[in-house]
């Protein structure tokens, strides 16, 4: 992925400098739900090449005030009273106005996009597989496929990895002996969905980092949608083969759900 832009400013960031540009193809880590790592890559200008070692979210109050980075931003990404920016962490500052070429490390991004799409699909497969095997708490909303969305209500943590994800959920009372059947059920559903090569779209309310985004996928058994600021594949056929592992986490009621695609 390549972009062109000009530098607006540089701020101190992670022991180096955080370069902010007018428009960026880089994906920055969301500090409030840090599931997908920020992009890495290069900024190039007049024979100069700088490695982007990380990419984070920055924000400043629209009413004025300093730019805050990452977890120092006190509100959730997208808060309308704040102006949101992509911060490219490099070794040294670049003068404002400098025209730059921006290169995102494509293979890594593609692998995280596959992992992120797989994570959402896995949540849907988990909802489907647990329906009838575990009683959802009263009032649990239903997902786009009509199953209680226990993946949303039970989510503790999500970590997108290259071509997969490791998600932690809380399902009090789920019997450990059912886990192999649940995993098999999930794999069968995921395989069928991937075989359908259904398109994946991310609808954005606007071009800014803070604009609301919704992930949508028209699966053979219904259309699924959920708010998501991450990156994704264009269609499920890109995911290939899939393997699911379920295991109880250290903390009693927690379940680790790991999915890998290849
Ligand atoms: Zn997401």
CA proximity to 30, closest of 107, 148, 112, 124: 112
Q: How far is the CA of 134 from the centre of ligand 1 (A)?
A: 24
Q: How far is the CA of 49 from the centre of ligand 1 (A)?
A: 32
Domain limits, CATH 2.40.30, in the chain: 2-104
Q: How far is the CA of 230 from the centre of ligand 1 (A)?
A: 5
What is the end-to-end Cα distance of the chain in Å, rounded?
A: 22
Q: How far is the CA of 112 from the centre of ligand 1 (A)?
A: 11
CA proximity to 55, closest of 81, 83, 17, 82: 17
How far apart are the C-alpha atoms of 262 and 254, rounded to whole Å? 26
What element of type H or E holds 90? strand 82-90
Please tell me the CATH code under which domain 107-261 is placed: 3.30.980.10
- H helix count then E strand count, the chain: 3, 15
CA proximity to 162, closest of 34, 21, 65, 259: 259
pLDDT tens per residue across all 262 residues of the chain: 999 999 999 999 988 999 999 999 999 999 999 999 999 999 999 889 999 999 999 999 999 999 999 999 999 999 999 999 999 999 988 999 999 999 999 999 999 999 999 999 999 999 999 998 999 999 999 999 999 999 999 999 999 999 999 999 999 989 889 999 999 999 999 999 999 999 999 999 998 999 999 999 999 999 999 999 999 999 999 999 999 999 998 767 899 999 999 9
Domain limits, CATH 3.30.980.10, in the chain: 107-261
Q: How far is the CA of 227 from the centre of ligand 1 (A)?
A: 7
* pTM of the complete model: 0.95
The answer as to CATH 3.30.450 being correct for domain 2-104 is no
How far apart are the C-alpha atoms of 70 and 181, rounded to whole Å? 40
Q: How far is the CA of 98 from the centre of ligand 1 (A)?
A: 33
Contact 68, 53 (CB under 8 A): no
Q: How far is the CA of 239 from the centre of ligand 1 (A)?
A: 16
Contact 215, 232 (CB under 8 A): yes
């Amino acid at each position: 992925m390549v972009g062109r832009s000009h530098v607006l400013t540089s701020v101190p960031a992670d022991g180096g400098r955080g370069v902010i540009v007018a428009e960026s193809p880089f994906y920055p880590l969301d500090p409030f739900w840090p599931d997908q790592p920020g992009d890495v890559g290069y900024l190039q200008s007049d024979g100069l090449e700088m490695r982007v070692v990380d990419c984070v979210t920055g924000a400043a109050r629209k009413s004025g005030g300093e730019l805050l980075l990452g977890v120092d931003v006190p509100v959730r990404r997208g808060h309308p009273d704040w102006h949101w920016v992509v911060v490219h962490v490099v070794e040294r500052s670049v003068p404002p106005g400098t025209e730059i070429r921006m290169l995102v490390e494509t293979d890594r991004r593609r692998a995280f996009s596959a992992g992120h799409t797989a994570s959402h699909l896995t949540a849907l497969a988990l909802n489907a597989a647990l329906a009838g095997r575990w009683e959802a708490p009263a009032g649990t909303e239903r997902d786009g496929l009509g199953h209680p969305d226990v993946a949303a209500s039970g989510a503790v943590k999500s970590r997108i990895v290259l071509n997969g994800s490791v998600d932690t959920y809380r399902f009090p009372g789920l019997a450990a002996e059912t886990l192999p059947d649940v995993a098999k059920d999930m794999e069968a559903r995921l395989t069928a969905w991937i075989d359908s090569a259904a398109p994946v779209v991310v609808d954005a309310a606007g071009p800014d980092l803070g604009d609301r985004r919704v992930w949508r996928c028209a699966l053979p058994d219904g259309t699924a949608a959920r708010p998501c600021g991450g990156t994704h594949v264009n269609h499920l056929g890109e995911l290939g083969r899939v393997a699911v592992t379920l295991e109880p986490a250290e903390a009693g009621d927690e379940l680790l759900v790991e999915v890998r695609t290849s």
